Chains A and B, each alone.
Chain A
Amino acid sequence: MKKWVTILTAVLLCFTCLQVSALDVRAEDTVTIKVYNWGEYISDGSDDSMDVIKEFEAQYPGIKVSYTTYATNEELYAKLRSGSASYDVIVPSDYMISRMIAEDMLEPLDFSNIPNFADIDDTFKNPQYDPENEYSVPYTWGTVGIIYNTTMVEGTVDSWEVLWDPQYTGQILMFNNSRDAFGIAEKLLGFSQNTTDVKELEQAAEKLKEQKMVLQAYVMDEIFDKMSNGEAALAPYYAGDFFIMQEDNPDLAFAVPKEGTNLFVDAMVIPKGTEHKKEAETFINFMLEPDIGLANIEFIGYSTPLKTVKSMLDEEVLNDGISYPSQEILDKCESFVNLPDELNRYMDELWVDIRASGSSSVIELIFLFAVILGLGGALIIYLRRRNR
């Protein structure tokens, strides 16, 4: 009997040993990194494109990728702030990165793990939103320009001034978001898009109020419809989205204004609290590989900050002045940085004032009083009759 017990114990012990070592192997070999990116913002294998995530997992068998997406910078920010989820790699835009740096939400990168960073064009190194380039690696970029319908607009479009042109009254669309709208007015007036001067902000607001006379509407996503079916002639929007609209309506053209414009950059960063920093850096480095970068850029349609990838693109794309404007124009462009809260709020107040201006509030007030009086009168008459 005793013998049996001994054997059984021995066998059991063996099993536990095996299990422990099996667990060990898993813990050592496979790590899951969580990547949180914009929707439709990576080559995912659809339409014969390369499946970048699969490719990465094949090349680094020890790393698995859990990939999820978000729709706006604010959504990403709220998710990180509330602490409801942790991520290893995220891809915020310029101004959000500067905000996250200011609020100590990002991990400084170890660039010795990201040797491919050397391939990034110098224009995108040490950007305004990350001056020492400690935290971010650019992923894609693009500009805001003027989309116009060549059958409705005469002459060449090369200045923001055209969005104020009374000749096109009722045919101009404008951004329905304060930062982009103010950015355009500020560029037209020759100010910085990141100005913290209240006077300049007020002048820009004045300019935007002037523009309201010639505007058709303030829009965001509705622009796709309205530009595609010829409802409007002119609208400022993002270069990458222009190609989608052009597919529907070949009469559309794109111009980068000579006053300069907003250059937006989406960059990869690692949030504080990551447990797999090294693996996350490996992933970032992988995204900078020439063939991977090329696959992504061809899928997304935005512009690449990688020199090698750019050299692999068609001449046609490089020279049309849409995705890759000349250095002369790029020099006049700015990226948004985060503004102080106070200023952001003041800008929002001015923005509401612009949008709500021009309504005949006196007549409306009289109408409201009349309705209230009528309702009150009816009530009194009704109650009196009832009591009788």
Chain B
Amino acid sequence: MKNKLPAFPYIVWMVAFIVVPLFLVVYFAFTSEEGGFTLDNLVKISQYTPIFVKSINLAIIATLICFVLAYPIAYILSRSTERYQRTMILLVMLPMWMNFLLRTYGWMTLLENEGLINKFLGLLHIGPFQMINTAGAVVLGMVYNYLPFMILPLYSVMAKIDQSMIEAAQDLGCNAVKVIIKVLMPLSLPGIITGVTMVFVPSVSTFVISRMLGGGQNMLIGDLIEQQFIGSTYNPYVGSAMSLILMVIMLVIMGIMSSFDDDEMEGLVI
């Protein structure tokens, strides 16, 4: 593209709503209330390390579960008839047409002690089980909400893998495990990286899921940041510092992930 004019509207958008806010976050993170430069905000955050660790752990678990669920289904989808593929993809996307908050609210009524699942189990004289207000419920909420973001990139990468590649590997004596490790995995790596990114990033920064399904006791980074901005104390300085650290953590993890695959990044463009 020699003529860059058509990109202009988006560049304006990007500067106004992405670059400037990003700059403000960095600026506030290093500013004290009196307006001078300070590192206090960042030092203060060290007391919240357990919350950071917990958030990252839960996000990692959710990402792993998403991957385990999504990888086989994405493969099966990419090898089936076109009509079947279209229907299945529609079904994967369908929940996303409904508001995210409503879906999480729905899980609340399902998981409660007096909720639908426990009532049903009660009929069979099992339980009741404590499901809501646990870390497990938070992970479940993350998996449920972000699973489509794992399936779709994996599927679109796998759909491009030629069936003859797999057949060739089988002809040359690979068993099923070796086909997956030596052929399928390397070829679908861009999709894996995109999927992991798209599940991990929103999971680690969520605050609605942890509040609704975690009962306010499973506090995550998102809750902490929210409290700084619209809680009883208005403290954008510490809030920005937390956001900054969160962004750095994400960048590092994404950096590690993408170094697995340094030449083929087409999966990222989905």
**Does B227 make an interface contact (CB < 8 A)?**
yes
Contacts of A348 in B (CB 8 A): 227, 231-233, 235
Assess the A371–B60 pair: CB atoms within 8 A. Answer: yes
**Does B72 make an interface contact (CB < 8 A)?**
no
Q: Which A327-365 residues have C-beta < 8 A from chain B?
A: 341, 344-345, 347-349, 352, 355-356, 358-359, 361, 364-365
Assess the A347–B232 pair: CB atoms within 8 A. Answer: yes
Size of chain A's interface in residues, with CB distance under 8 A? 41
Q: A218-B216, A222-B108 are in contact. Are A179 and B232 (CB under 8 A)?
A: yes
Assess the A219–B235 pair: CB atoms within 8 A. Answer: no
Assess the A361–B219 pair: CB atoms within 8 A. Answer: no
Whole-angstrom CA separation of A5 from B211 in the bound complex: 78
Give the A-B contact count at a CB cut-off of 8 A: 92
Convert B198-221 into 0s and 1s, putting 1 for each residue whose CB lies closer than 8 angstroms to a CB of A.
Answer: 000000000000011001111100
Assess the A225–B233 pair: CB atoms within 8 A. Answer: no
Q: A178-B231, A179-B232, A379-B256 are in contact. Are A356 and B50 (CB under 8 A)?
A: yes
**Does B156 make an interface contact (CB < 8 A)?**
no
**Does B79 make an interface contact (CB < 8 A)?**
no
**Does B48 make an interface contact (CB < 8 A)?**
yes
Whole-angstrom CA separation of A219 from B260 in the bound complex: 43
Whole-angstrom CA separation of A99 from B198 in the bound complex: 42
Assess the B215–A219 pair: CB atoms within 8 A. Answer: yes
Q: A176-B211, A368-B56 are in contact. Are A361 and B50 (CB under 8 A)?
A: yes
Q: A218-B217, A225-B108, A355-B217 are in contact. Are A365 and B231 (CB under 8 A)?
A: no
Give B residues with C-beta under 8 Å from A: 47-51, 53-54, 56-57, 60, 108-109, 112-115, 130, 132-133, 211-212, 215-219, 224, 227, 230-235, 256, 259-260
Which 4 A-B residue pairings sit nearest by Cβ, starting from the closest? A218-B216, A217-B215, A361-B50, A344-B233
- Known pairs A217-B216, A231-B112, A364-B53; list 5 more (Cβ under 8 Å): A74-B230, A178-B231, A218-B215, A348-B231, A371-B57
Give A residues with C-beta under 8 Å from B: 72, 74, 170, 176-179, 212, 215-219, 222, 225-226, 229-231, 341, 344-345, 347-349, 352, 355-356, 358-359, 361, 364-365, 367-368, 371, 375-376, 379, 382-383
